[in-house]
Every structure is written in C-alpha cells, then in structure tokens.
Structure 1
C-alpha cells in the first residue's frame, strides 16, 4: 500500500501488525479473498453499484486506504466492473480479472459482474455471476461475507446491518481473557519444526491452481474440518494454520466488529483424535473476549 496525504476522515483505525505485514508485500504476493455467487436471470449494473455504495456506507471498512500507520475511510465505494459476457470459466472458477491485485491507494474491495457468467441458466437461458473481492490486508473471508450479505439486503429493499467498529485485531487480542496475558513471541527460530503434509515443494515458481469441487449438504466449520485431515495425511504429526473467527466471542461486548479482520490463524499441531468430531472438541476451542 502507498500512503495518502494527511486529511480529515470519519472512520479510521490503527493498522494491526498483520495488516502492516500485508502492506509490505510485493504486488505479486498480494493475497485476495474472493467469493463467487452464481445465479439465474439478469443483474442491472447500476442497481448493483447503488447497493454496493449503500452497503459500503454502512460498512466503511470496505472503503479503506492507508494514511501512515492508519487505515482510513477514503469515501469512495468499491467499484463494480462489468466484464465481458462469457469471460468467466465456471468449470475452473477462473478469469484473468481474478488475478488483479487490490492495493491501496487503489480499491481494496471490488465487485465483478459477469453477464452470462457460467452459472446455471434459467428457462430463458440467462445467467449471471458476481465475484466479490477484497484485499486480505484489510479484511478476512468472514468480514467479506458479512458485507456481501449487506449488499444483498439492499438489493432486496432492506436496510444494511452495517459494521462501524474500528476495533483492530491487535486491540482484539489484548482484550482476550487470558490468564497471564498473551504468550511471548518465539525468537531465533530456525528450521522447520513440523513436516509439511504436502511433501517437498517444487523448485519451479509456484502459481495459483484453481479447482472446482462440490460437496452436498451443510457443513459447519468447513475450513477446520478440511484442515484436520490435511494435517493427518502424512505418516508423522503435522501442524498448520487454522483460521478461527472470534466475532461471536466479542460481539456482545464490542458490537459492530463484523466487518473487520477479526480472524486469527494460529499454527497448531493436529489433534491425534480418531475422528473429526472429537478433534473439533479437542482442537477448536479458544479464548473469549472480556
């Protein structure tokens, strides 16, 4: 992210250590959170842009730019880009537009509208695909989803729920009810303490590999459920980052935190349980906010 001149802003929050780390990444290493929404029928671009603007007014964290060590509301809603019809590969969930980096001072959120975008057509043969995108440096997947829900609330004629909180992840961690406070950060760490369940990495440059998989049913804690067998796949115990959203834990004492980057992904060893339910009980509990 590049800084912007000092100016007056309504919404602002201090950058957490994780957000500062993302600000220093090269564009090719930028991490983007993306949701694909497929449907039948058509979507008017101007109506969608109006819904995006109204939802973003209620969730000012979607309009962030960097001002020194702060993230501030730049006042410009995320753009809606209308893409060429049929340019979205529904089989691979892929398009060149999905590789565009989102970084301040440019937009950190955006919506892509693909007319005839590869979804299941209706009786008239029309389909549409929306891709909601956000820089992982300012939000996480759950924060993006809650803003998406507000966009669809406006499209249905309802009022957005909104997320006005300026709570940063560092402030959130300091509010955790931990006896003795947070553990000290490890220092002078060298080598790999845990083996990779994926084996040795290839020497050639890595790229993004898109695959589409469908799993019937409703699956709570799907990320953690997929993390568990991945870390148990090898012959030795492995460890890996497992995201955990703490919005529910602090919602009653710090309302309005829905749209912020409130997910922590500590690297934990896989619990050597015989099945996922018992592993979830042993490995997925965590501290709560005061």
Structure 2
C-alpha cells in the first residue's frame, strides 16, 4: 500500500490531553463488555475483528509524531480461559486493570468463563465511546455474516468544529465543584480508582437528567455535570470512530428537579454549546510532561480538598436490541461499558440500555471513606430509577384502562 493511501489523521488536542493519562490514571481504557449465552470460536472472532477493523482503521492506529497512522494490523484477540468478570470490585479484576502494551491502542478479550464475555478495550486517545460502539456493531455484523458498515473518515473533533463553527466561548474551568461521594485521602497500596457495574432492572425515560439530579441532591453547593455530546449529530454522513465528543456542562443548583435539569440540557443542545468547548483544549499546547504535573495536581486537589473541575460525567451510550447483535452461536444477554478513570473529576457514569434493563458503569476516584459512600449512592440511584420506572408503568397502565371501567 502506498503512503498516499494509508489512513492517517492528526492527533486532536483532546487526544493529546489523553496521552499522559495512561501513566496518571492507568489503564485509561474504555471497556465495552458483552456477556452472553453460547460460545464463540476464537478464529471466527479474530476474523470478524480483522474485517471490521479494516473497514474502520481507527481500530488499528499507532502514533507517528503528531499523527495517528493505520498500522495495517488488526487488534489482538486474547482468549482468557475460564475467566468470569466480577459484578463488584472490578478494580481488582486482573483483566480489566491490565494495561495495554505500549504500542497498542485497542484489543479484544474473549473470556470463556460463565458467562462467555467479549470485552473491547480501547485507549480513549484513538476513539470516543460512540466510536467504540460503532466498531463493536461492525464486529457483530461480520459474525452474523454481513459486511461491515465501515467508518473510514479521518476526521476528529477539531476538524469538524472548525467546519461547523462554535457559537460562543467555552465554560470557565475552575476546580471548585464537590462530589456526591465526597473526598478522601488516597492511601499507598490502595486502588487509586474504584470500578463498579450496577444493573437497574428497568429502563427509564431521561436517565441522564435523573441521575444528574440525584447526584446534585447528594452534593453540597452547585453540582457541575459533564454530558459528553456526540458531534456526529451535526453531520450524519460522517463515518468516523475518532474522538468526536465534546462536553456540555450542566450547573445544577441544590434542589433542582430532573425536569429542570432536562430543560437545561435541551437548551444547551439547541444552542450547540458543546462546540464551544473545543477552545478549552488549548491547554494541551503545553508539553506532555507539564500536562502530567498539572493532572496530578488536579487529582490531589480533588482527593484532599474535594475541589474538582466537575462533579461527575454522565454519558448515555445508547439503547441496544440484543437480538440485532446475536450470531448463530452466541447471543449477548446484556451490554455494559466501564469508563476510563479521571483525575479532574471524581465520578464517571456510563449508561446503556438493553433487554429491559439499564446498565451503569462507574469509575470513581478512591480515598478514605469513598467505597462505602459510593455503594450507598449506587443503591440510591438504582432504587430511585426502578421506582421511577414502576410509577411510569403504573400510570401508563391506569391511562390504558381508562376511568370508566369497574
């Protein structure tokens, strides 16, 4: 293949910011897991990953100076015999916490325990969460015997925002926001971050607004929630797995209900406010070594004094029809995403819906007392969402029956 046809794109400022995170908050991976019924032939999975990655070369990138370049090599598929992911204390799981090889940006794990589970592990510097979902869908398309859709466009956030234009100025970033899990000193030998998966036995309307309001109700002062917005909404023809998400910040005063939070979110989306945040990535113009120092300082400020650039991130990754992902020998029974760790904010939530359930993946900066407060918070969120779904179902049932019957 000649150099003129090799996929390459500039590393965006957002992605430059993520490079030192591999050392500061390892392993700094988004991890998409699909447990299911049946078995997968490793050779068939490797073939599907190879075909899907050729159609979406963002899964095959290596760094070359200021650019990402297609290596031409499909991500490794690693078979781990007999391993089953825990539902709690995932920060102790040796598969989930393992770093990628230094020159690797993406890999796939096939865990053959009960249940059999496919895990996609992606360095956030090459894809955003939706890019990973698009790539995953193509892998399962190939497993079902179809051609991949493919996402070959060498476009990331900066190029798209330059074309679209930003309507205003970025939000001021000052580390002053508290967290619903509080703060605590980080002890030597203890995990720096905790990872949780929580299943809510219902799907609910407006989960991002409701989770954000619940977090604000447990936080002192104004809560700032970061909502990653998929920039592909501005160009539906764009086919790229690159980082194409920018934050919409919601500043939520105490007592604001989820309906008002939803209106604040809708207003920001109508105004395209997420595009303004591209300008905030100019911070990455400093050398990576200086960026690492800054990131460690932000982590210390949050852990010791409870002062953060944001209170939490809440990211909705979509609603999935599991039958559409099924192949003859394997049917996913759920899908969940474990977010990457952060140092600038203490809480990261991913929300995925499938099979009548809502899966929450949570990364949390650890510290004295955080574990107990986190588990209490997740109990509250799960209970509130399930109760909300039950109320909605009861109301819908009552309306469906009408008021004139016996």
TM-score, structure 1 as length reference: 0.80
- In the alignment, which of 92, 96, 99 is matched to residue 98 of structure 1? 96
Match of 1:62 in 2: 59
Counterpart mapping for 1:192-207 below 5 A = 192-204=175-187, 206-207=191-192
Match of 2:251 in 1: 269
1:277 Cα deviation from its structure 2 partner: 3.5
Give the conservation status (yes or no) of the 8 Å contact 1:9–1:72.
Answer: no
Match of 1:146 in 2: 134
Task: Give the gaps of 5 or more residues in structure 2.
Answer: 276-406
Give 3-state SS (helix, strand or coil) of 1:210's partner.
strand
Counterpart mapping for 1:90-169 below 5 A = 90-92=86-88, 94=90, 95-102=93-100, 105=103, 107-116=104-113, 118-119=114-115, 128-169=116-157
The separation in 2 between residues aligned to 1:12 and 1:267, in whole angstroms, is 31
Match of 2:231 in 1: 246
The separation in 2 between residues aligned to 1:40 and 1:237, in whole angstroms, is 44
TM-score, structure 2 as length reference: 0.59
CA-based RMSD = 2.6
Give 3-state SS (helix, strand or coil) of 1:133's partner.
strand
1:111 Cα deviation from its structure 2 partner: 0.9
Match of 1:19 in 2: 15
Task: Give the gaps of 5 or more residues in structure 1.
Answer: 1-6, 120-127
The one-character-per-residue Cα deviations of 1:198-242 (angstroms, maximum 9, x if unpaired) are 323324255232333111333566455433421342242121322
Whose relative contact order is higher, 1 or 2, with alpha carbons under 8 Å and at least 6 apart?
A: 2
The separation in 1 between residues aligned to 2:147 and 2:89, in whole angstroms, is 31
Counterpart mapping for 1:206-221 below 5 A = 206-219=191-204
- Judged with a 3 Å threshold, the aligned counterparts in structure 2 of structure 1 residues 231 and 272 are, in CA distance, closer, same or farther, namely closer
The separation in 2 between residues aligned to 1:141 and 1:163, in whole angstroms, is 14
User: Which structure shows the bigger proportion of residues in strand conformation?
Assistant: 2
- 1:10 matched to 2:11: no
1:244 Cα deviation from its structure 2 partner: 1.6
The separation in 1 between residues aligned to 2:245 and 2:206, in whole angstroms, is 13
The separation in 2 between residues aligned to 1:271 and 1:245, in whole angstroms, is 25
